[in-house]
Structure 1
Amino acid sequence: MSTTADVIRSADAHSAHTYHPLPVVVASADGAWMTDVEGRRYLDMLAGYSALNFGHGNRRLIDAARAQLERVTLTSRAFHHDRFADFCTELAALCGKEMVLPMNTGAEAVETAVKTARKWGYEVKGVPDGHAKIVVAADNFHGRTTTVVSFSTDHDARDHFGPYTPGFEIVPYGDLTALSRAVTENTVAVLLEPIQGEAGVLVPPAGYLSGVRELTRERNVLFMADEIQSGLGRTGRTFACEHEGVVPDVYILGKALGGGVVPVSAVVADRDVLGVFRPGQHGSTFGGNPLACAVALEVIAMLRTGEFQQRATELGDHLHHELGLLVGGGAVTAVRGRGLWAGVDIAPGHGTGREVSEKLMERGVLVKDTHGSTIRLAPPLVISKEDLDWGLDQLRAVLA
C-alpha cells in the first residue's frame, strides 16, 4: 500500500503544480467523512467547494448513475437520447425558466453565459457588433479560462495569461452607485455571484441584489447570477438570490448539479435569451450526456423535497451562532456567510488560514483557506448536528 508521503511525492513529480492541496490523500468517503490511504478518518467541512452538497457516495445519486451506466453514457449531441428532454424540462422548472443550455464545468457555463449575453445584446438589444460590455464585480471568481481571468482581480489567477479579452468593466462588489455608473447603452449584462465564495464567503449588503435586479430591468440589461457555489441548497434556499426575492434573467449552475459524481453545468434562462442560438453556434460533446442527465435529474428531485434547503437553514443557523461566539475572543475577527457556508477571518498572531487548516487536518477536520487569513467552511448538507459540533470543537481547540 502506498503511504501518504509516497503518493504526494509522485503527484508533485508528475502533475502540474496548479494547486497546493493539504497533505492528505483520500482513498474513500461516505457522507460527510473521508478516509485516507492509511486509514485515518476526516470530517469533510469543504464538500468539494459545494460540489458535494449531498455528501460522498449518496445512495440515490450512486444508484441513478449505476443504472444509467448499464444503459448508455454518451451519444454526443449529434443524436437525441432519452434523458435529455426530462433533464432540460425539470431543471428549467426548478429555476422557473423556459430553456436550458447544458455544459460540463462551471467555467464552461460562465463562458457560455458570456457568449449568450453578447449574442443577445447584438441580436435583441441592438448593441453595435463588437461593442458589447459586461459589468462584473471586483474579487469575483467565475473560473480560470482565458476569458474569465481577463476580468479577475486575483493576481494569481490573472497575471501572465494575457493578452486579455476585452469587453468587461469591473466595479466594487456591493456598490450599487458604481454599478449604475458603469452601465451604458452598450452594456449587455451584469454578471455577479450572489455570495462571493472564493473571496471569503462575502455576503453583499442587504438590498444589493434587489437593487441590481431593478437597475438591470430599467436599463434593459441581463442580470446573470453565478450560482455555481451558492446555488442548489447551500445557503438554505434553492438559489442564494431567493434571500432577497430576486429572480435573475440567467442562472449559471454547476458543482452540486452533478452531485459530486460527474461534472454537470448549465445556463438556464427564458426563450427570449437562450433562443438566440442556432445549430452550430455553441455546443459540447459531453454537455447534456445521458449519465450527466441521469444524475442531475436525481439532484433536482432531491431539491424538490425541500429537505436539503431546510437542513442548510437549521444547521446553518447553528453554525453561525457558534462561530459568532468566537468573534471578539481574540482569535477570530469576523464571520460571514449564509446557510451551511461560512468564511472565518483568523486574527493576526493566531496563524494564517493555511496554518489553521493544517492544524485542523491534524485533528481530523478538512477545510480550505483563501486570501491568506480566511478559512472556508462548507460541510455537506447531510452532515449531522453531532458531527458539525465535533468539527466546531476542533476549531475551538485549534484557536484556543
Structure 2
Amino acid sequence: MNTNYSAQELIGLEEKYGAHNYHPLSVVLEKGEGVYVWDVDGKRYFDFLSAYSAVNQGHSHPRIINKLKEQADKLTLTSRAFYNAELGIYEKFVTELFGFDKILPMNTGAEAVETALKIARKWGYEKKGIPAGEGIIVVCKDNFHGRTTTIISFSNDEDARKHFDPYTSGFIAVEYSNVDALKEVIAEKGDKICGFLVEPIQGEAGVNVPAEGYLKACFDLCQENNILFIADEIQTGIARTGKMLAIDHENIKPDMLILGKALSGGAYPVSGVLTRNEVMDVIHPGQHGSTYGGNPLACAVAREALQVVLDEKLADNAEKLGQIFRAEINKLVEEFPLFKSVRGKGLLNAILINDTPESDTAWNFCVKMMENGLLAKPTHGNIIRFAPPLVMNEEQLMECIAIIRKTAAEF
C-alpha cells in the first residue's frame, strides 16, 4: 500500500505535472494480478479494459514476469548495431507462429503502423511501379491506428486532428464495412494504390464489427489488383476475439500483419510488422529502425507472452466466455431501457447506451460500476467497451455481469 500519498494527492500530482491528454476515471491503481487490480486504498476491482487489450494474459502473469526478470538480469539493450542472443530466436518463433517470412520489430502500436505504411509505400514504388510521390494508401473512416502526425492525417476524429495540421497526404478514406466503397476507389485509382489498411474490428470506434464476409471480399479485391491487404491487429490480435487473429474468422492471410499490445502481455512495449520476403526485402540498412526495436528484453518477454496464450488456450476461452457475455447482456438489454444493444466477438464487446453520443450517461454509468468494483471506460460518448483479461473464468464473468446488472438497477 502507498503510504506516502493519498489517492487524491496522486491524482493532483498528475494534474499538476503531467500533460492533460487523458481523461481517466478517478481511481489510482497500484497492483494487479490476473483479472483483478487494486487501488492505493486496497480496494479490489475487476479490470474490464485490460489496458486496451494489452494484458490479455492477465496482470503480472508469473511466467511473463519471471522471464522479464531473468532476461533483465542478463541483458536489456544492445541497439541493432550488434546482433543479440534473443532476436533471431524470437523472429523465428513469431514468424512461424503466424505464418510469415519476416518481422520488423518495433516498440509501440503507432510505430508499427508507421512502419507498415512506409514498407507499403516503398513496395508500391519499387515493386508495383507506382510513379514517385503518387502512392495512395486506402483506409477506413472511423479508424484508430494511433496518434502520430501521419496517422491523424487520415483520421476523421476531430479531437485527434484539430490544430495538428498540416497533414500528410496520400490517403483516401472509405466507409467501413462497405465493399462497394473500396471497389469504387480501386476502379478509379487502383494502379496507384499501395495498400488497404483496415482494423478487422474497429475497437476505438466502439467495437464496430463489420458485416460477415466484408474482410474476405476486401482481401480478394486487393489480391486482384496487386494491392497489399494490411491488417491492424494491435487490439484485436493475440486471442482477443476468440481466435489467434480476428482475420482468422474469415480465413484470411493478409499481406502485412501489424501486432502490438498483448504481444508482450502488458509487461513491456513490443510491436512489429510481419510480411513475406518479397515485401520486406524493399527495406535496406539505414532506411528504418529503432534503438529499442528488437531488444533482448522485448524479445524474451514477447516469446513467453505468446507461449502463454498458446499453452493456456486463451483464444478458446475468449470465444466461450464471449458468447456467454453477449447472451447475458442481451437479457439486460431486454430488462433495462438504458441498454440499447451489445456487439462484439470473443471478449472484445461493447454495450450501446440508449442516449446521444454527446450525453454523459455512459461516463456516469462507468463511474457507478467503478464504485461497485468493475472498471471499464466509454468510447465515443454513448458506448462502453468491455474487454477483460482472457484468463477470466466463467464464475468471474458471471460475477461481473451481476455487477453490471446491479449498476443498471441502481442507475
- Does TM, normalized by the shorter one, top 0.5? yes
Q: Which residue of 2 aligns with 1:393?
A: 402
Partners of 1:241 and 1:94 lie apart in 2 by 15
Q: Which residue of 2 aligns with 1:356?
A: 365
- Report sequence identity in percent: 47
Question: Residues 241 and 347 of structure 2 are in contact (CA less than 8 Å); yes or no, is this contact kept in structure 1?
Answer: yes
Question: Residues 360 and 395 of structure 1 are in contact (CA less than 8 Å); yes or no, is this contact kept in structure 2?
Answer: yes
Question: Residues 360 and 381 of structure 2 are in contact (CA less than 8 Å); yes or no, is this contact kept in structure 1?
Answer: no
* Alignment TM-score, normalising by the size of structure 1: 0.98
Give the Å deviation of 1:304.
3.3
Q: 1:177 aligns with which of 176, 180, 205?
A: 180
1:66-105 equivalence runs, <5 A? 66-105=69-108
Q: 1:28 aligns with which of 11, 27, 31?
A: 31
Partners of 2:308 and 2:33 lie apart in 1 by 18
Give the Å deviation of 1:182.
1.3
| 347-356 vs 329-338, greater mean Cα deviation | 347-356
Q: Which residue of 2 aligns with 1:260?
A: 266
Question: Residues 57 and 308 of structure 2 are in contact (CA less than 8 Å); yes or no, is this contact kept in structure 1?
Answer: no
1:301-380 equivalence runs, <5 A? 301-305=307-311, 307-329=313-335, 330-348=337-355, 352-380=361-389
SS in 1 for 2:384: strand
Gaps of 5+ in 1: none
| 110-119 vs 2-11, greater mean Cα deviation | 2-11
What per-residue deviation string (whole Å, max 9, x for no partner) do you get for residues 194-233 of structure 1? 0000000111001100001100000000000000000000
C-alpha distance 312-324 of structure 1, shift in aligned 2 (>3 A):
same
Give the Å deviation of 1:93.
0.9
Q: Which residue of 1 aligns with 2:52?
A: 49
Question: Residues 141 and 175 of structure 2 are in contact (CA less than 8 Å); yes or no, is this contact kept in structure 1?
Answer: yes
SS in 1 for 2:406: helix
Partners of 1:351 and 1:390 lie apart in 2 by 26
Q: CA RMSD in A?
A: 1.1
Give the Å deviation of 1:82.
0.6
Partners of 1:211 and 1:87 lie apart in 2 by 33
Partners of 1:135 and 1:85 lie apart in 2 by 33
Give the Å deviation of 1:351.
5.6
Size of the aligned set, in residue pairs, is: 400
SS in 1 for 2:209: coil
What per-residue deviation string (whole Å, max 9, x for no partner) do you get for residues 55-104 of structure 1? 01101101111110110000000000011001111111111100000000
Gaps of 5+ in 2: none
SS in 2 for 1:29: strand
Partners of 1:45 and 1:16 lie apart in 2 by 25
Q: Give the AA of the match of 1:346.
A: I
SS in 2 for 1:22: coil
Q: 1:64 aligns with which of 64, 67, 74?
A: 67
Partners of 1:390 and 1:237 lie apart in 2 by 24
Please tell me whether residue 17 in structure 1 is matched to residue 20 in structure 2. yes
Q: Give the AA of the match of 2:378.
A: D
Q: Give the AA of the match of 2:340.
A: T
Partners of 2:63 and 2:225 lie apart in 1 by 44
1:157-176 equivalence runs, <5 A? 157-176=160-179
Give the Å deviation of 1:399.
1.5
